[in-house]
Structure 1
Amino acid sequence: MSNKIYPIGIQNFESLRRDNYFYIDKTALIYQMVKTGRYYFLSRPRRFGKSLLVSTLEAYFQGKKELFTGLAMEKLEKDWIEYPILHLDLNIEKYDTPESLNNILEKSLAKWEELYGANPSERSLSLRFAGIIERACQQTGQRVVILVDEYDKPMLQAIGNEALQREFRNMLKPFYGVLKTLDGCIKFALLTGVTKFGKISVFSDLNNLDDISMRNAYVEICGVSEREIHENLEAELHEFAEAQELTYEALCSCLKENYDGYHFTHNSIGIYNPFSLLNAFKYKEISNYWFETGTPTYLVELLKRNHYDLERMAHVQTDADVLNSIYGDEDPIPVIFQSGYLTIKGYDKEFGLYRLGFPNREVEEGFIKFLVPFYTRLNKVEAPFEIQKFVKELRAGDVDSFFSRLRSFFADTPYELVSDLELHYQNVLFIIYKLLGFYVNAERHTSDGRIDLVLQTDRFIYVMEFKLDGTAEEAMEQINEKGYAQPFEKDGRQLFKIGVNFSNKTRNIEKWIVEKVSLSHPI
């Protein structure tokens, strides 16, 4: 039986090491960082180990050699010099007013001024920060290490509030700008966050940062690779498989399906979500651990404010400029990608285009379920029970009950959506299709506003066509004329062709008609 203690929620390296928590050694990559560069930026989704990385760097620059016993760093580093460290953690505050950011900066500056002194002429936040760096360097005889965790949290929490976001940018831009002006006093700097900096961000003048977010050499700096799982958790994999009554191969496949799939650059290995993976090993249970810790509502607000077609999100193509842009005021995709809900699935080298998609089942299922209350009348408590009923009706061949329930999903469509009703219908259908797809075989193809939906169970196949302000008869005619059902006619399962009409007037499903196809090879 494994005696590993999994560091769920442990973000302090010293605490982790002194209390003998399980740690996957990242220190060779950390050594590579500090010996080959000075100013870094790293973007990763939440709960991906950014804070632990910052804490590990802090322990290293404090010269705490004893914490690295048995790790790669112990053999690599020979000098172990202690440097003055300024660690700013912006993850601990709720940023809903300009004062909230000012307060946390003020608290950090006051703490550092207690150590290194203050100058009354330094009145602004940036001047005080610069003065602290200069005095720390002079007093200790060593250049300063600056570590900023979650640099972007104030701006992320202010999405949708341009005035507040502008206040935060105006406050942080000169503050971070100090890193460039005091190059001679700085040994090393790392800023981490979820979103990446762009031309309009607080970093517009800070062009000396090396963004390693999409660098293949650093894909394993946060998160867990398949290699690391097998090197560190091989015995535990067998125990996990036994607890789940699965074969070793089936358990590995299940972990991969649910937690792997993050690609932070093209042609790179997949990375597992460390938070979900370690929880799964601790409890020997596959569950949506990462999603249960909370999904920011600003993501859905971005999608709705931009009237985004959710179908596009599942297989969007874009370029590096978009992936590296910030906030998504016009396009929500950059911030959704940077937040970890989409990842790189493919790359066209000739045109420099990235194909995005959901990284794994945990993210896909969790995100789609999270969308339900924002696009339908159902709340998050009701939705799972409704989906269960949908699936049972499909498995039983009860078409009328299925469509009566589907009609309820469109009830009470908000008035403000009337002007974009077709997109609203398509988005709701996309959500239903994706949710059902976790339990039945589902296919969906769209073209020029047309929606085809094919659902398959062990006994039934449903071929559906939807019309907006047409007729159910026209939808059925299109199924027959275009031969949508032909690929399934010799399948052996009962085949249903279903034509459906949405009414703009009632803002709901008006009528559906069903043709039951005779079985060629009865089951």
Structure 2
Amino acid sequence: MVQVNSSRFKTIFPTHFIIRQIQCLQSPRSNLFHLPFSRTLRTQKSWMDLCQKNVLLKNKLKAIQKGAKLEQQPWKPSPKKQKIIKYGTATLFASEKILVDLDSFKEIVNRGFTIIDKTLLISEFIECKAIVSLVVRPRRFGKTINLTMLRKFFSIPIYPDNEDYRRELFVESKIMERPDLFDKYFCKYLVIFLSLKDCSGETWSNMQTTFYKRLAELYKKYEYVYNKLDKYEKLNFDKIRSGILQYEITKDALLDLSKYLKEYHRNKCIVLIDEYDHPLNVAYQHQYYEEARSFFASLFGALLKGNDENLEKTLLIGISRITKSGYLSELNNLTVFPMYKKEFANYFGFTEDEIFILLQHNSKESQLDGIRQWYNGYQTGNDLNLYNPWSINSFINKETLEAHWIDTGRLSEFKEKFEKFFRFTMNAFSYYNVSNNLVESNYHIFILGMFHQAYYCGYKLMSNREASESRFDLKIEPTEKVNFKTGVYMEFKVLKYKKNEK
């Protein structure tokens, strides 16, 4: 790869687009060339003439391939359409438009939609000591937008994309206040970005087909490494690029791609995986869980375990952590960041400062108390209250306080599975003698665990063993942090036997 430091042509070109005259030089990013490379040549007119000629040749090639008559020009950065508003710790890029169903950071910024500045997630990710991080957050919490933001920040632009175009996405954002990080990391890495949100299917065969298409698209994006591969690697590359179903090759596909990119660019990769848990949730629903678990465990295990020489850092995003199944459990370098940990806490979801600035911009600040009562946020490890962005944005668009978020998930399926689980649990406990102290202790621990999420919403949990009372098994008591002041008492009866129960 050759980098051109011209204000017009600042970009990265794959070597198969470099013309013959430049191939006498030695690039710092490649060992394909044969003669020593002088960095001073980059500032010489002859060097710039060659680079400009290279751009024209590449454009002509693309025009011929597409049947086009016009040469493709580099993307030109356009100034942000949003105005900047600050309040407390919050920064808002504000416009008259707010969208709830667009999850691309680049598209939101370039199309002039309102967006909260979460760019300090970049510094949190860089400075986090974990090499492989798993962040779990509820549905519709801004996970994909943040992941696409990281992608646009770190990844090396390939023509016609360029650094000037990328830089405009981050102009006047909080990450620009960290020039030490910005200059060192901006547009410096190859990023392997894989979204599994559409990886579905009623059968395992259907899911495999969908995933292999995604994998083929990923490989096609990096076709320029092909000529540097050996004969065996080219054979595997061709099979994956064409979407051929072959387990022994596919399970190492991401590992191999990280090696190809590292060898080509002489720099490690950053891996970003969106909705890592979605395929297994779908597989469980359609009863082919074990096949999916085994495949994806092998795929990500090969990529993330013992691959430090090719990977700089990895971030996986999902709704829940999948435990006790063998999925990612072999990764001894994995660090999990649930909502109750302070790391990454305020970069997913909206804080109260961010909600206020949104409401103020839309002349709805008088509705803040109503927002608190309806959407009573999640409590994080650093005592922040976070609110679901989908609910807040939907309220601003529709101007109605209602349960907007419910429609985004399969509530009926959850209710059915929870009722089935609850019946199974109560029947399981019914066969024990609860007068036994050890069994009774385990029973109360289990009940507390079932409702532990209420603690992070500002409620206090107590069992009758802790309170030295015998009138309830579980008490959920509101604290001063919540507006819903009603407490809940629960008492569970032991069933000796329930006929025909399965």
TM range (shorter): 0.5 to 0.7
Given the alignment of the two structures, is residue 175 of structure 1 paired with residue 299 of structure 2, yes or no?
yes
What is the alpha-carbon distance in structure 2 between the residues aligned to residue 90 and residue 358 of structure 1? 39
Distance 1:181 1:298 in 2: 39
Q: Among 121, 129, 133, which residue is 1:40 paired with? A: 133
Within the candidate set 50, 57, 76, 2:150 is matched to: 57
Does residue 288 in structure 1 map to residue 403 in structure 2? Answer: yes
CA spacing shift, 1:95–1:357, aligned 2, 3 Å: farther
Counterpart Cα distance in 2 of 1:356 and 1:86: 47
Q: CA RMSD in A?
A: 3.8
Relative to 1, partners in 2 of residues 1:240 and 1:84: Cα closer, same or farther, differing over 3 Å? same
- 1:343 Cα shift? 4.9
Q: 1:8-47 counterparts in 2 under 5 A?
A: 8-37=100-129, 38-47=131-140
Pair 1:356–1:100, CA change in 2 (3 A): farther
Partner Cα distance (1:231, 1:126) in 2: 47
Matches of 1:443 and 1:36 in 2, distance apart? 39
Structure 1 equivalent of residue 199 of structure 2 = 93
Secondary structure at the counterpart of residue 458 of structure 2: strand
Q: Give the Å deviation of 1:231.
A: 4.2
Q: Give the secondary structure class of the aligned counterpart of 1:197.
A: coil
Contact 1:39 1:209 in 2 (8 A): yes
Structure 1 position 219 matched with structure 2 position 332 = no
* Alignment match, 1:300: 415
C-alpha contact (below 8 Å) 2:448/2:461 kept by paired residues = no
Kept in 2: contact 1:28–1:72 (CA 8 A): yes
- CA–CA separation in structure 2 for the residues paired with 1:446 and 1:358: 11
8 Å contact from structure 2 (residues 477, 487) kept in 1: no
C-alpha contact (below 8 Å) 1:344/1:356 kept by paired residues: no
Change (3 A) 1:152 1:206: same
Separation of aligned partners in 2, 1:70 and 1:96: 46
| Contact 2:475/2:488, CA 8 A, preserved across alignment | no
Instruction: Tell me the equivalent position of 1:255.
Output: 371
CA pair 51-356 structure 1, distance change in 2 beyond 3 A: farther
| Shift of residue 136, structure 1, vs aligned partner | 0.9
Q: CA deviation at 1:158?
A: 2.9
SS of 1:181's partner is coil
Within 5 Å, give how 1:101-180 maps onto structure 2: 101-114=207-220, 115=222, 116-117=225-226, 118-120=233-235, 123-159=248-284, 164-177=288-301, 178-180=303-305
Q: Which residue of 2 aligns with 1:244?
A: none
The separation in 2 between residues aligned to 1:356 and 1:27, in whole angstroms, is 40
The equivalences for 1:186-335 within 5 A come to: 186-213=311-338, 214-236=340-362, 239-240=363-364, 248=366, 251-265=367-381, 268-308=383-423
Amino acid at match of 2:370: C
Q: Does 1:71 align with 2:173?
A: yes
Q: Deviations over 1:25-61 (max 9, x none)?
A: 1111321212334321111111111111111111111
Q: Map Cα deviations across residues 416-436 of structure 1 (whole Å, 9 max, x no partner).
A: xxxxxxxxxxxxxxxxxxxxx
**How far does the alpha carbon of each residue in 1:394-435 deviate from its partner, in whole angstroms, 9 at most, with x for none?**
xxxxxxxxxxxxxxxxxxxxxxxxxxxxxxxxxxxxxxxxxx
The answer to whether the 8 A contact 1:343-1:357 is kept is: no
Give the whole-Å Cα distance in 1 for the aligned partners of 2:486 and 2:379. 25
User: What is the deviation of 1:141?
Assistant: 2.2
Deviations 1:241-297 (A, max 9, x none): 6xxxxxx2xx211101112321244x6221111001011122322122111223354
> Residue 148 of structure 1 aligns to a residue in which SS?
strand
Q: Distance in 2 between matches of 1:278 and 1:358?
A: 30
State whether residues 270 and 312 of structure 2, in contact with CA within 8 Å, keep that contact through their aligned partners in structure 1.
Answer: yes
Contact 2:390/2:405 (CA < 8 Å) preserved in 1?
yes
TM-score in terms of structure 2 length: 0.59
Residue 346 of structure 2 aligns to a residue whose secondary structure is coil
| Ranges in structure 2 where 5+ consecutive residues have no aligned partner | 1-93, 157-165, 227-232, 238-247, 427-445, 467-473, 479-483
Residues 333-353 of structure 1: CA deviation (Å, up to 9, x unaligned)? 989988xx995435789x99x
Q: Looking at both structures, which has the greater relative contact order when contacts are Cα pairs under 8 Å and sequence separation is at least 6? A: 2
1:423-479 Cα shifts (integer Å, max 9, x gaps): xxxxxxxxxxxxxxx9xx9987554649xxxxxxxxxxxxxxxxx9xxxxxxxxxxx
Residues 202 and 347 of structure 1: CA distance in aligned 2, closer, same or farther (over 3 Å): farther
Could you state the TM-score of these two structures normalised by the residue count of structure 1? 0.57
Q: Which amino acid aligns with 2:307?
A: L
Residues in 1 aligned to 2:456 and 2:475: alpha-carbon distance in whole angstroms: 5
1:416 maps to which residue? none
2:116 aligned counterpart, secondary structure: coil
Pair 1:183–1:24, CA change in 2 (3 A): same
